Amino acid sequence: MTEAINKEISIDGVDPRELYGVQNAYLEQIRDMHPKLKIVARGSTLKVLGSKSEVGRFEHRMQGLIDYYAKYGHISSEVVTQCFAGVAPADDAPVDKDVIVYGNNGAVIRARTENQLRLVRSFEKNDLLFAVGPAGSGKTYTAIALAVRALREKQVRRVILTRPAVEAGEKLGFLPGDMKEKLDPYLQPLYDALNDMIPAAKLQKFIEDGTVQIAPLAYMRGRTLDNAFVILDEAQNTTLPQIKMFLTRMGRNAKFIVTGDVTQIDLPRRSDSGLTRSMEILRGVEGIAVVEFDRRDIVRHPLVKHIVDAFDRRDRAETEKETENH
């Protein structure tokens, strides 16, 4: 007589609601496919009772389902059937060389413009990237997609996103709340991008255990960032010493991306911005690449391109006028 064993299988890091399906539909489907096993779900743990061989097969196939979800961000009844029938599920996501990562509910996040694709390809060959260009060109979103992919593929252990807490017309001190509550609005665009790519429950867990960190630039001082994918956003609002401080945090097996738009400097003096100067200083250094976006990369509302063009024309006219006056 085969001895029964009781096995606990952790699905930690996967949202049980996604894995088990609406009203546990996928879980019931799994149970129906394993009538010889007793399967009990307790949050992020599955308790499985049955023969050693049956439990072993179940554990192997469950891991295949978890891996599929981690890669594509969604599960279907067909995928469950294939996994637990011992057949590797066919990739039902579109085959596209420009796909960076699969977001929530199987959403495809891909490089949508030539320069976004350049950023993806440059990332594969360099450890430090500068991505500069106008608002809406997808610099930050593409960088965060690369970070999420690196985390899923275990290329890094953590993702760190940072911004300088610079006032853009409003006074930080007058905002209500403690320091975190004052700073969170500055960091919200980073949360928004992550929420597109990582299920809410999993993202919350990542934030709680430090796998994903979102913090103002000042919090980077004194740290050594090993095995990390680090993004400095809105870098046009950093001074040259601040960028130097940030870049020298790079530790072993680290990837850094610096993004910014030199037309949106919120520092008291535009000349204090260290983004352009740091790119000039580091241009040509092996392992560092610069990707320059332009208005052709803008993927927001079509009016954004016209808005950027109009402001560019105004800036050029003012520059020409100043030159004539001098």
pLDDT of res. 171: 45
Q: Helix, strand, or coil here: 289?
A: strand
Q: Give the CA dihedral 280, 283, 285, 286, nearest 10 degrees.
A: 160
DSSP string, 146-172: HHHHHHHTTS-SEEEEEE----SSS-G
Rounded Cα distance, 131 and 129, in Å = 6
Question: Which residue spans within 119-234 are E strands per DSSP?
Answer: 128-132, 158-163, 212-216, 228-232
Q: What pLDDT does 286 receive?
A: 93
DSSP state of 137: S
Q: What is the pLDDT of residue 262?
A: 87
- Please tell me the distance from the alpha carbon of residue 62 to that of residue 14, in angstroms, as a whole number: 12
pLDDT at position 258: 96
Amino acid at 74: H
Nearest residue to 14 via CA among 61, 73, 56: 73
CA angle 178, 183, 185 (to 5 degrees): 120
What are the 10-residue block averages of pLDDT along the chain, 326 residues in total?
77 76 86 88 86 87 82 77 70 58 79 89 94 90 94 91 67 52 73 88 88 88 92 92 93 95 84 89 92 82 73 77 69
Quick one: pLDDT at residue 177?
Answer: 57
Amino acid in position 98: D
How many Å apart are CA 239 and CA 272, to the nearest integer?
Answer: 6
**Could you identify the residue written with the tokens 């709680």?**
208
- Quick one: which H or E segment has residue 99? strand 99-102
CA distance 248 to 255: 12
Can you list the positions of beta strands (E) in 177-304?
A: 212-216, 228-232, 255-260, 288-292
Tell me, what's the pLDDT at 91? 53
pLDDT by residue (tens digit) across 3-32? 778 888 888 767 787 788 888 888 898 888
Mind giving me the DSSP string for 87-144? -PPP--SPP-TTEEEE-GGG-EEE--SHHHHHHHHHHTT-SEEEEE--TTSSHHHHHH
> What pLDDT score does 169 carry?
42
- pTM: predicted TM-score of the whole model, two decimal places: 0.69
What pLDDT is attached to residue 98? 66
Strand partners, 273: 239
Q: Which domains does the chain have, with CATH numbers?
A: 4-84 (3.30.1370.10), 99-321 (3.40.50.300)
Span 294-308, pLDDT tens digits: 888 876 666 766 787
Residues 84, 107: Cα–Cα separation, whole Å? 24
